[in-house]
């Protein structure tokens, strides 16, 4: 067993082709859009024959699954860093929200793929595991912002509500219908902060009772 190189060992002929394929797919996805993301194009980009991917992924959908998985990891990391670098625990939730939306706006095709439930033959997606890190970060930030950690049911609902709201904002934030309002508010971030402020779970506890 030779030592692992700077990146990864080259196990066989090509050298870590599965990762190369996933990288190529992600590159094509963001550069040319999901319509151009053909398995053959991915193989071409990776410099292998059209049949080579089938030794690493059962299907095209399994490759897409791997791409989406990488997306969830990157998103979780972005959330963690946003929380870590937040100036104030009360601001952590907003920082996370902004980082989340920015991730979606910087990788729109990847983000859409991550939430595509039509692929995966095994029924519903297993986002729980991938989300887990990000999800628990949001939960922690909610508690630091004043949520009651004892009321687990309510905390769960607040976390889900936050996630849903930010997901919706992430997918709609670049609708051009919002453009005039954004400009009137003096910039993208001001607009996003204002919307986030309207999400109940992002305001410091209006808990009625």
Partner DNA sequence: GTCACCATCTGAACGGTGTCAACATGATCT
Partner DNA sequence: AGATCATGTTGACACCGTTCAGATGGTGAC
The binding site for a copy of itself (CB under 8 A) comprises 33-35, 108-109, 112, 115-118, 123-125, 127-128, 131, 153, 156-158, 160-169, 171-172, 174-178, 181, 184-185, 194-195, 198-203, 206, 208
26 vs 34: CA distance, rounded Å? 10
Smallest distance from a copy of itself to CB 187, Å: 14
23 vs 52: CA distance, rounded Å? 15
Task: Pick one of DNA, a copy of itself, none as the site partner of residue 56 (Cβ within 5 to 8 A by kind).
Answer: DNA
- Alpha carbon 146 to its chain's center: 26
Task: For 119-134, give one letter per residue: b (16+ CB within 10 A) or e.
Answer: ebeeeebeeeebbeeb
Choose the stretch contacting DNA; rule: CB under 7 A; options: 37-45, 65-73, 144-152, 177-185.
37-45
Task: Pick one of a copy of itself, DNA, none as the site partner of residue 11 (Cβ within 5 to 8 A by kind).
Answer: DNA
Task: Pick one of DNA, a copy of itself, none as the site partner of residue 74 (Cβ within 5 to 8 A by kind).
Answer: none
Residue 39 is a binding residue for DNA (CB under 7 A): yes
Task: For 38-70, give one letter per residue: b (16+ CB within 10 A) or e.
Answer: ebeebbebbebeeebbeebbeebeebbbbbbeb
Among 13, 121, 176, 209, binds DNA (CB under 7 A): 13
170 vs 47: CA distance, rounded Å? 35
Task: Pick one of a copy of itself, DNA, none as the site partner of residue 1 (Cβ within 5 to 8 A by kind).
Answer: DNA
Task: Pick one of DNA, a copy of itself, none as the site partner of residue 149 (Cβ within 5 to 8 A by kind).
Answer: none
209 vs 203: CA distance, rounded Å? 16
Q: Among 160, 17, 197, 58, which residue's Cα sits nearest to residue 189?
A: 197
Among 8, 31, 33, 51, binds DNA (CB under 7 A): 51
Residue 119 is a binding residue for DNA (CB under 7 A): no
Site string for DNA, 58-97 (x = CB under 7 A): -xxx------------------------------------
Both ends of the chain: CA-CA distance in Å?
A: 63
Residues that bind DNA (CB under 7 A): 1, 11-15, 17, 37-41, 47-52, 54-56, 59-61
């Amino acid at each position: 067993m030779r030592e692992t190189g700077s990146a990864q060992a080259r196990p066989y002929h090509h050298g870590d082709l599965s990762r190369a394929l996933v990288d190529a797919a992600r590159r094509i996805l963001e550069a040319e859009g999901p319509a151009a993301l053909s398995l053959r194009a991915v193989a071409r980009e990776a410099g292998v024959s059209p049949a080579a991917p089938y030794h690493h992924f059962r299907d095209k959908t399994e490759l897409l699954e791997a791409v989406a998985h990488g997306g969830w990891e990157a998103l979780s990391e972005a959330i963690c860093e946003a929380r870590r670098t937040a100036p104030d625990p009360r601001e952590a939730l907003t920082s996370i929200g902004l980082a989340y939306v920015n991730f979606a706006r910087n990788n729109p095709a990847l983000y859409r793929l991550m939430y595509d439930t039509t692929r995966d033959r095994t029924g519903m997606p297993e986002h729980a595991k991938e989300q887990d890190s990000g999800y628990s970060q949001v939960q922690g930030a909610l508690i630091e912002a004043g949520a009651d950690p004892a009321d687990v049911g309510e905390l769960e609902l607040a976390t889900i509500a936050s996630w849903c709201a930010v997901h919706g904002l992430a997918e709609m934030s670049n609708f051009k219908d919002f453009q005039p309002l954004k400009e009137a508010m003096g910039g993208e971030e001001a607009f996003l902060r204002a919307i986030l402020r309207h999400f109940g779970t992002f305001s410091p506890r209006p808990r009625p009772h």
